[in-house]
Amino acid sequence: MKTVLIIGAGRSTLSLINYMLNIAEQKNWKIQVADLDLSLVHEKIADNPRAEALQVDVTDEISRVRAIAGADLVISMLPADMHVPVAVDCIALRKHLVTASYVSEGMQQLHQRAVDAGVILMNEVGVDPGIDHISAKKVIDHITGLGGRMLIFESFTGGLPAPESDDNPWHYKFSWNPRNVVLAGSGGAVKFIQEGQYKYIPYHMVFRRTELIDIENYGRFEGYANRDSLRYRSVYGLDDIPTIYRGTLRRPGFCRAWDIFVKLGMTDDSYLMEKAHTLTRRQFLNSFLAYHPTDSVELKLMHYMNIPQDQADLLEKFSYLGLFEDIPLPEKALEKPTPARILQAILEEKWQMKPGDRDMIVMWHKFGFELHGRRRMITSHMVFKGVDHRNTAMAHTVGIPVAIAARLIMEGKILKTGVQIPTTPQIYEPMLDELKTYGITFTEREVPYRI
């Protein structure tokens, strides 16, 4: 009996586990789900006879290796920084690995070792990265297959509240790892190329350089640049493209307000705040503002951040989080009180999805190209809504692609070893076909060419 080991039973794993349990029944497979918190595992596997719960501390090498040794394939749903140790074990034990995360430098360095061991290390098969790759690469390959020359590729994705659950002034709720949201953009300069010119955005400017995008039936969004877009030129076969830009979607107004947190230093995770246990939320905010013997926190914030009087909506966002109130910081914030962790704890109280809330994934691509001497442009978008606060669109669009990739490897339909991402027809065509059965589809239309 073949065995698939899923390591991590967090918020993005419900759809993945359900898919794998259904397949296990058809294929006579065994599904092991491992986590340090067994209650999370039992909550998701229930009493399914095809499932086995394992308590594993992934930071303990012996515990981790013992679990991996019994599997044919491992799916890591751990935080991104834990994938490399798992991958090293998988290579040593000759087990295939699937993750939803970006290929890190450490993961890429394992490529030849994985090839030599005959092991597939499949990464970037979630939603972003993942569905963005497979949907974009299909269009790009079609255009270039017709003899077209790609001139522009832009891609944006966002996990947001569905309109019917959008009930706070930030127009945002957590549907995935809150820490990743708080630290977004802080991993170094954002890189892209625009009209042949290399562009770099330092962290303190990421949320001020935004692009407005309208999507039919869903209104307006704003996108900010994300990570290193340049690395995808070769991945997508676009080494000579003049413009390539990847980013994240939010509703208008979010980025301007989040930029204030960045400029103040409230997303810094590099130091602990002294006597944090004595601070109220108002004092926490005031800690990042200049001293003045009489000015209020609100007035100092407006002066320091150059907020005009007619932009009261910015202050409303801060007020909604209780940052002008003398109420204690969340207990969770005091465990390791860096500014970023304190801010995260405050946001987790206010941005949680409530029972019955629905989230949605919004993805948008723009393809500019020249074909037979004529410049043309195509846009493609996908909007997918979750069912409720547990069965989220985020969990579905991360978990289902991961599960499909794992199934294809287990069935011997993906054979290329080493570090891989889903950009070949062998991978993206069956994935896109199956995603359609779950309602994850793209709408394409030709629009006037514009830069």
Tell me what pLDDT residue 11 has.
80
Q: What band does 309 get if pLDDT is binned at 50, 70 and 90?
A: confident
Angle between helices 312-320 and 297-304 (to 10 degrees): 130
Tell me what pLDDT residue 176 has.
83
Whether residue 344 contacts residue 182, with contact meaning beta carbons closer than 8 Å, is answered with yes
Whether residue 56 contacts residue 36, with contact meaning beta carbons closer than 8 Å, is answered with yes
The pLDDT tens digits for 287-299 are 999 999 889 999 9
How many beta carbons lie within 10 A of that of residue 364, not counting itself? 24
Tell me what pLDDT residue 159 has.
97
Q: Determine the Cα–Cα distance for residues 402 and 76; give it in Å rounded to an integer.
A: 10
Q: Amino acid identity, residue 47?
A: D
Residues of the chain with CATH 3.40.50.720: 3-122
Average pLDDT of span 302-306:
92
The pLDDT tens digits for 118-153 are 999 999 999 999 999 999 999 999 999 999 999 999
Whether residue 373 contacts residue 396, with contact meaning beta carbons closer than 8 Å, is answered with no
Instruction: State the average pLDDT for the chain.
Output: 95
Average pLDDT of span 215-223:
96
Whether residue 68 contacts residue 5, with contact meaning beta carbons closer than 8 Å, is answered with yes
Whether residue 245 contacts residue 225, with contact meaning beta carbons closer than 8 Å, is answered with yes
Tell me what pLDDT residue 177 has.
87
CA distances from 155 to 104, 189, 208, 307 (A): 20, 18, 18, 31
Tell me what pLDDT residue 195 has.
95
The pLDDT tens digits for 374-392 are 999 999 999 999 999 989 9
Tell me what pLDDT residue 357 has.
97
Q: Determine the Cα–Cα distance for residues 307 and 94; give it in Å rounded to an integer.
A: 57
Tell me what pLDDT residue 10 has.
87
How many beta carbons lie within 10 A of that of residue 429, not counting itself? 13
Average pLDDT of span 391-408:
96
Helix (H) or strand (E) holding 284: helix 281-286
CATH architecture of 3-122: 3-Layer(aba) Sandwich (3.40)
3-state secondary structure of 212: strand
Tell me what pLDDT residue 188 has.
77
pLDDT over threshold 90, residue 56: yes
Q: Determine the Cα–Cα distance for residues 222 and 372; give it in Å rounded to an integer.
A: 33
pLDDT over threshold 80, residue 240: yes
Q: What band does 310 get if pLDDT is binned at 50, 70 and 90?
A: confident
Residues of the chain with CATH 3.30.360.10: 131-256+355-447
Helix (H) or strand (E) holding 304: helix 297-304
Q: Amino acid identity, residue 270?
A: S
- CB neighbour class for 197 (10 Å; exposed up to 12, middle 13-18, buried from 19): exposed
Tell me what pLDDT residue 189 has.
80
Whether residue 74 contacts residue 34, with contact meaning beta carbons closer than 8 Å, is answered with no
CA-CA-CA-CA torsion sign (55, 61, 67, 68) = positive
Average pLDDT of span 194-213:
95
CA distances from 149 to 154, 240, 365, 369 (A): 15, 9, 17, 5
Q: What band does 440 get if pLDDT is binned at 50, 70 and 90?
A: very high
Residue range 131-256+355-447, CATH number = 3.30.360.10
